[in-house]
Amino acid sequence: MAANAATPAATTIAPGLVRVDTGYLRPAHTASYLVIEGGRAAIVDTGVGRSAAVILEALSTHGIDRAAVEWVIPTHVHLDHAGGAGPLMDALPDARLGVHPSGRDHLVDPSRLEAGVRALYGDAFFDREYAPVMPVPSERIVALADGDRLDVAGRPLDVVHTPGHAWHQLSVLDTDRSVLIAGDAFGASYPGYAEGVTPFLVPVVPPPQFDPAAYRQTLERIRGLQPRSVAPAHFPLIDAPAAAADRLESLLDEALDWTAQAESVDDLQQRLIDGWAASLPAGASRAAFERDFGLDLWLTAEGLWHWREKKARRASS
């Protein structure tokens, strides 16, 4: 049940909606999406800097001229979703970059974002996976409000603010196809685990902006939108969004209980591994789960622990 088998770089998941494997970390780990209509296109999520070449190649394969890309939309400014924004905007002369208002300044000047990521991952990881991070000219950035409607050759794309994973997280609803491109708002999974109507996925809540109340509200909002499918950044298409939302909420409740009980962040990470491995689908091994979801589990433990400590500081002040 390994999740790292070779997958096509670009896969059509609905008419005019193409998932591009950005190549971050391993195959089938992080996706970008192309919305294509009438010879025009939008890109949702950019991968890291070196992902730009993969995305540009996918555009070319689908007959899209670089000058025909209207929008580049990172769902949030974490670098596996926005690190390629600078190189893409440099290559796409007429594109506008749409981002949550809280993420705008980080793309104009990514220095604070870089410092935070270096502090979390370390310099060696940053230099290998993310460097360099290019700024985007401020005049090309559009702050996207909740409820804004964009379009690609008349095909509507609705902006939905979906905080919880991060405050600056948004999703894009392709209303014609009833597909919500969700970034990290709807958990993570990988090929080789249960898919379709029996999704196996976990919430991913890194530091420093995790908010459990906002995460629950986002799940409820996505339920209310009733999309036919959810297209997450990590990774397979989710064809049973309501069941997936129920699972994510249940796992979040478990994680919050373990966060209260844990004696350290390492203890918390082990509780996540032990607890969530217990619900693996038939045929999936714990060793594969730890390997394939390892970074997600570590980030989630760090995010939950940060939230616990922040909550304790507020209570004592």
Structure tokens at 91: 């290559």
pLDDT in tens, 23-44: 999 999 999 999 999 999 999 9
Domain tally, the chain = 1
Beta strand ranges found along the chain (DSSP E): 10-14, 17-21, 31-37, 40-44, 69-73, 96-99, 141-143, 149-152, 155-161, 170-174, 179-183, 229-232
Q: Is residue 3 part of a domain?
A: no
Q: Is residue 296 part of a domain?
A: yes
Q: How far apart are CA 219 and CA 184, in angstroms?
A: 12
Q: What is the pLDDT of residue 196?
A: 66
Beta strand ranges found along 102-219 (DSSP E): 141-143, 149-152, 155-161, 170-174, 179-183
Question: Which CATH number goes with the domain that contains 257?
Answer: 3.60.15.10
Sequence-distant (6+) residues with CB within 8 A of 295 are 25
Mean pLDDT of 281-310: 95
Q: How far is CA 63 from the centre of its chain?
A: 26
**Percent of residues, the chain, with pLDDT higher than 90:** 91
pLDDT band at 4 (very low <50, low <70, confident <90, very high): very low
Mode of pairing for the β-strands spanning 10-14 and 17-21 = antiparallel
Q: How far apart are CA 84 and CA 130, in angstroms?
A: 9
In this predicted structure, the answer to whether residue 267 has a pLDDT above a threshold of 70 is: yes
pLDDT band at 283 (very low <50, low <70, confident <90, very high): confident
Average pLDDT, the chain: 94
pLDDT band at 192 (very low <50, low <70, confident <90, very high): confident
pLDDT in tens, 73-111: 999 999 999 999 999 999 999 999 999 999 999 999 999
Between residues 195 and 34, the one the model is more confident about: 34
pLDDT in tens, 133-181: 999 999 999 999 999 999 999 999 999 999 999 999 999 999 999 999 9
| Lowest mean per-residue pLDDT among 196-205, 236-245, 273-282, 302-311 | 196-205
- Report yes or no: 212 and 206 within 8 Å, Cβ to Cβ: no
Q: What is the pLDDT of residue 30?
A: 97
Q: How far apart are CA 115 and CA 120, in angstroms?
A: 9
pLDDT in tens, 115-142: 999 999 999 999 999 999 999 999 999 9
Mean pLDDT of 263-289: 94
pLDDT band at 198 (very low <50, low <70, confident <90, very high): confident
Q: Is residue 14 part of a domain?
A: yes
Collapse the DSSP code of 153 into the 3-class scheme (helix H, G, I; strand E, B; otherwise coil) and give the result: coil
Q: 57, 55, 37, 35: which is closest to 47 by C-alpha? A: 55
Q: Is residue 310 part of a domain?
A: yes
Vertex 75, ends 70 and 77: CA angle to 5°? 110
Sequence-distant (6+) residues with CB within 8 A of 294 are none
Helix (H) or strand (E) holding 73: strand 69-73
In this predicted structure, the answer to whether residue 208 has a pLDDT above a threshold of 60 is: yes
Structure tokens at 93: 């002369």
**Which residue segment(s) compose the domain that 242 sits in?**
10-316
Structure tokens at 164: 């919880």
Collapse the DSSP code of 227 into the 3-class scheme (helix H, G, I; strand E, B; otherwise coil) and give the result: coil
Q: Is residue 113 part of a domain?
A: yes
Mode of pairing for the β-strands spanning 179-183 and 229-232 = parallel
Q: Is residue 245 part of a domain?
A: yes
Q: Is residue 87 part of a domain?
A: yes
0.85 surpassed by pTM: yes
Q: Is residue 2 part of a domain?
A: no
